[in-house]
């Protein structure tokens, strides 16, 4: 089941909203081992309403400089990445950490 996630949505993790800056299918050929890494539960939001709930994803990690350069995302904010389980397809999301003070 493909998930309806796209750039411009928000991924909500631990009550913090992260704008999704990039969303792409991600190939995994390592069998079911990835299920152990998908230990964070998230929700997506689009236009003020929760869209998808109970999504399993990997913990958020900083984007490496090479990926940041390749995506050419113009933002002063830190970029984070995660992988989301869509059952029959995985998605690699790049998120913007707005560092609310």
* Interval 8-54: pLDDT, tens: 999 999 999 999 999 999 887 766 777 788 999 999 999 877 688 89
Q: pTM value?
A: 0.84
Provide the pLDDT for residue 92: 92
For the stretch 51-89, pLDDT in tens is 888 999 999 999 888 877 887 777 788 899 999 988 778
Provide the pLDDT for residue 100: 57
CA distances from 80 to 15, 20, 32, 52, 87 (A): 16, 10, 24, 20, 22
Q: Is pLDDT of 1 > 80?
A: no
Beta-sheet pairing, 78-85 with 61-62: antiparallel
Q: Is pLDDT of 101 > 50?
A: no
């Amino acid at each position: 089941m493909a998930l309806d996630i796209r750039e411009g949505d928000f991924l909500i993790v631990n009550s913090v909203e992260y704008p999704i800056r990039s969303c792409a299918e991600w190939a995994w050929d390592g069998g079911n081992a990835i299920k152990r890494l998908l230990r964070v539960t998230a929700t997506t939001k689009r236009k003020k309403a929760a869209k998808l709930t109970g999504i399993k994803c990997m913990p958020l990690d900083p984007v490496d400089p090479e990926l940041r350069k390749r995506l050419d995302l113009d933002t002063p904010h830190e970029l984070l990445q995660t992988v989301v389980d869509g059952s029959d397809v995985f998605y690699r999301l790049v998120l913007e950490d707005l560092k609310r003070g």
